[in-house]
Homo-oligomer: A and B are copies of this chain.
Amino acid sequence: MSRFGDATTIKQVDEGRFEVELDGDFGMAEAVNGGYLMAVLGRAAVASSPHEHPVATATTFLRAAAPGRAEITVDTLKAGRTAATARVSLAQGGRTATEALITTGTLDASAEPTYTGERPAPWLPPIEECTEFVPPEGLTGFAAQMDLRYDPATMRWLEGRPTGVPELRAWFRLRDPHGNDAAALALAVDALPPVALNAGARGWSPTVELTWHMRAIPAPGWLALHGSGRLVTGGWFDEEVEVWDSAGRLVAQSRQIARLGRG
Contact = CB atoms under 8 A, between A and B. Distances in A.
A208 interface: yes
A250 B77 CA distance: 33
B259 A233 contact: no
A101 B187 CA distance: 21
Interface string A196-229: 0001100000001101010110000000000001
B215 A236 contact: yes
Nearest to A107: B234
Contacts of A234: 107-108, 111, 216
A238 to B, nearest CB: 6
B232 A60 contact: no
Contact of A250 (B62, B213, B231): B231
A107 B229 CA distance: 18
Interface stretch (A34-42, A82-90, A148-156): A82-90
A77 B62 contact: yes
A91 to B, nearest CB: 11
Interface string A39-66: 0000000000000000110111011000
Contacts of A107: 234
30 contacts: A55-B208, A55-B257, A58-B58, A58-B209, A62-B85, A83-B259, A85-B208, A99-B101, A101-B209, A103-B209, A105-B236, A107-B234, A108-B234, A111-B234, A113-B232, A113-B233, A114-B199, A114-B200, A114-B233, A115-B199, A115-B229, A115-B231, A115-B232, A116-B231, A117-B230, A215-B238, A216-B233, A230-B242, A231-B253, A255-B255
